[in-house]
Amino acid sequence: MEQDLRIYAQGLAFSGGVYDLRTLENLISSYRKILDGLVAVQLGRRQITPNIKKQLDYNVSINQGSIELLLNFVLNHKEVLGIFAADGGQVLSETIVTLFKNAIELREKASSLIDKGLSININIVNSFNAGSRFDSPNVSYDNNKGTILINDPKILWAAQLTRGPVNKLLSQIDGSSVEYISLSTESSEFRLTPDQRAIMGNQKEELKATLNIVGRLDVVAFS
């Protein structure tokens, strides 16, 4: 795949090459916020900063079909992104898709525990550094005790930072107008589907959780 990332959405809202304007705007703006947030988290930031915005942009082309957006990272100053810019964005793309998948998995597991009336205990069991990579599975949980295990604190930050735009996307994925939306690279893909709408809801916006750190953190807080 020539592009760094591919965003694909299928449904009646995109049929016949004529797109529903509100759905299309939501798709583009929400994914821009998601990508900004995931890049910021991967670089060890609480949120996208003006400096990072100056160094990072996206070239977008649209293929015919349901709706297919092809994104390339525009890395104006590669030294800011370090190892993630060494190959022009391929490593960054793979990391972004995996981090996004892990963030949604964390919210799904937390949602399941909330529905059971259990208190949530999140255990972090790996060191943190801006260049860390992910190996699946990165999120696991005990269905009876309310314990969620993640191997990197960036997963928690990514879940929190992308919650708003993810909820906006899920609110439109009804299985008909929009069947699903996927984010993919050449070798990996993650889909948002109607099944994940369960993670939305007022009672799930602010999660009451106990956070435990097992082992050593190279960096104890995001800058």
Q: Tell me if 181 is assigned to some domain.
A: yes
Residue 174, SS3 per DSSP: coil
Does 77 or 10 have the greater pLDDT score? 10
- What pLDDT digit, counting tens, does each position of 150-188 carry? 888 888 889 989 999 999 999 999 998 899 999 998 888
Q: Tell me if 9 is assigned to some domain.
A: yes
- Tell me phi and psi for residue 189, to 5 degrees: -150, 145
Classify residue 44 by its DSSP letter: T
DSSP structure string for 16-71: GG---HHHHHHHHHHHHHHHHHHHHHHTT-SS--HHHHHHEEEEEEEETTTEEEEE
Q: Tell the residue number behind the tokens 């070798």, with chain if given.
A: 187
SS (H, E, C) 108-172: HHHHHHHHCCCCEEEEECCCCCCCCCCCCCCEEEECCCCEEEECCHHHHHHHHHCHHHHHHHHHH
- What pLDDT digit, counting tens, does each position of 114-152 carry? 888 888 888 887 644 444 444 445 777 766 677 888 888
Q: Tell me if 221 is assigned to some domain.
A: no
86: confidence class by pLDDT, cuts 50, 70, 90:
low
Q: Tell me if 220 is assigned to some domain.
A: no
What is the Rg, in whole angstroms, of the alpha carbon atoms belonging to the chain? 18
The single-letter code of the amino acid at 163 is R
Tokens coding 67:
């709706």
Residue 103, SS3 per DSSP: helix
Number of independent structural domains in the chain: 1
The four Cα atoms 77, 78, 84, 86 give a dihedral, to 10 degrees, of 160
Q: Tell me if 223 is assigned to some domain.
A: no
82: confidence class by pLDDT, cuts 50, 70, 90:
low
Q: Residue 143 CB: number of other CB atoms within 10 A?
A: 11
Cα 140–Cα 107–Cα 69 angle in degrees, nearest 5: 110
Q: Tell me if 75 is assigned to some domain.
A: yes
Mean pLDDT of 70-94: 64
Lowest average pLDDT, out of 11-15, 21-25, 52-56, 144-148, goes to 52-56
Domain containing residue 31: 5-213
Q: Tell me if 219 is assigned to some domain.
A: no
How far is CA 1 from each of CA 72, 88, 134, 222, rounded to the nearest angstrom? 11, 13, 22, 33
CB 159 within 8 A of CB 106: yes
* Burial class (CB within 10 angstroms; exposed 0-12, middle 13-18, buried 19+) of 87: exposed
Closest by CA to 168, choosing from 25, 1, 5, 20, is 25
Q: Tell me if 222 is assigned to some domain.
A: no
For residue 104, pLDDT beyond 90: yes
For residue 41, pLDDT beyond 90: no
